[in-house]
Amino acid sequence: MAQVKPNKDSDRSYGKVEILRPTCNLDTVRDGRGGIFTWVPPEPIVEFNMLYFRPGKTRGFHYHPHFIEYLLVADGSGVLVTREDPEDTECEKFIHLSKGVCTRTETNVYHTVYAITDMTLIAMLTHRWDHSDPPIIRVDN
């Protein structure tokens, strides 16, 4: 099996997928009660869903033609894998996912999530799933 090299982009952008960094009011950490971290997406979110993944399972390579998808990892760890060409595993890129990581995936980007441990993700969409025809196009090979 080919080994995929880690992404080297220093600006947290991986082609049409990026990792969003939250802001934090440090007073919410200093007061001893925990912390509040805030992500502000550049476009409106109109729907969010809770997704559960089991290790060794995948929902398959797919893309969304009608919405941008944000993924916020609530628990667990895994890998978000993208491809420019769905048939070419040589062009794969990956982002390691762990609790607190938030990604933004553009429309029409071939991607999937592989769970390393049990994972819980919050998927936030810029267009309603049920108002998208189709919401997902699978490209498994």
For 131, list phi and psi in degrees, rounded to 5. -100, 5
Q: Give residues with Cβ within 8 angstroms of 93, minimum separation 6.
A: 4, 7, 14, 15, 17, 81, 82, 83
Q: Is residue 6 part of a domain?
A: no
Q: Is residue 4 part of a domain?
A: no
Per-residue pLDDT of 77-91, as tens digits, reads 999 999 888 888 888
- As for how many domains the chain has, the answer is 1
pLDDT value of position 86: 84
Task: Kindly indicate the confidence band of residue 141, based on its pLDDT and cuts at 50, 70 and 90.
Answer: low
Per-residue pLDDT of 126-135, as tens digits, reads 999 999 999 9
Least confident residue range of 4-18, 60-74, 95-109, 127-141:
4-18
Tracing tokens 């990956």 back to the chain, one arrives at 94
117 is in which domain, residue-wise? 13-138
Q: What is the CATH number of the domain that holds 131?
A: 2.60.120.10
**In this structure, how many other beta carbons lie within 10 angstroms of the beta carbon of residue 3?**
4
Alpha-carbon distance of 66 to 58, in angstroms, equals 21
Q: Is residue 5 part of a domain?
A: no
Quote the pTM value.
Answer: 0.86
Per-residue pLDDT of 8-44, as tens digits, reads 444 566 668 999 999 999 999 999 999 999 999 999 9
Alpha-carbon distance of 57 to 130, in angstroms, equals 24
